[in-house]
Amino acid sequence: MADAPYLVALALVEISGKRALPLIGKSQAAAALEASDPGEAGRSLALDLLLRLWQRSDEGPLQRAAADASLLLVEIPMEVMSEQLPLLKASWLSGGETQVLLDSLQGLVSRAWRISIAKYEPVSFTAWP
């Protein structure tokens, strides 16, 4: 399991004008690495993340910070997740450029999807970028 990447859902948002980058992740089974999309594990992480965001909406108005790329699901090696992702997050939260964060994130992940939903449709994953 140490070689299997983590599946991480993250949101680039502003709450009352202040940046936030909540995230949630879990390790994947080896079989998930062969699938074309993250399936039920991805849906579960997306739901957990969206519930966290919904709870935080009590703090003030919630706004996406990166348009369609504001809600992402990524496969990321454990070492990167524990060492480099916190640095990227801290840099962005302290005023770093959004596009720099997205470009850096793309360079670190093995696969990535935008999370979206349409009326009367289930959560969907679109390859990102």
Residue 34 belongs to what domain range? 6-127
Residue 30, pLDDT > 70, answer no
Domain membership of residue 19 (yes or no) is yes
29 vs 52: CA distance, rounded Å = 25
Pairing relation of β-strands 23-27 and 6-11? antiparallel
Is 2's pLDDT higher than 70?
no
**Alpha-carbon gap, residue 43 to 28, rounded angstroms:** 13
How far apart are alpha carbons 97 and 58 in whole angstroms?
26
In this predicted structure, which of 17-26, 33-42, 105-114 has the lowest mean pLDDT?
33-42
The average pLDDT across 40-62 equals 94
**Domain assignment present for 114:** yes
| Residue 32 confidence (pLDDT) | 66
> Crossing angle, helix 98-108 and helix 85-93, to 10 degrees?
170
Looking at the domain assignment, is residue 11 inside a domain? yes
Number of domains in the chain: 1
Structural domain includes residue 1: no
Share of the chain above pLDDT 70, in %: 95
Only one residue has tokens 């964060």, namely 101
Higher pLDDT, 97 or 79: 97
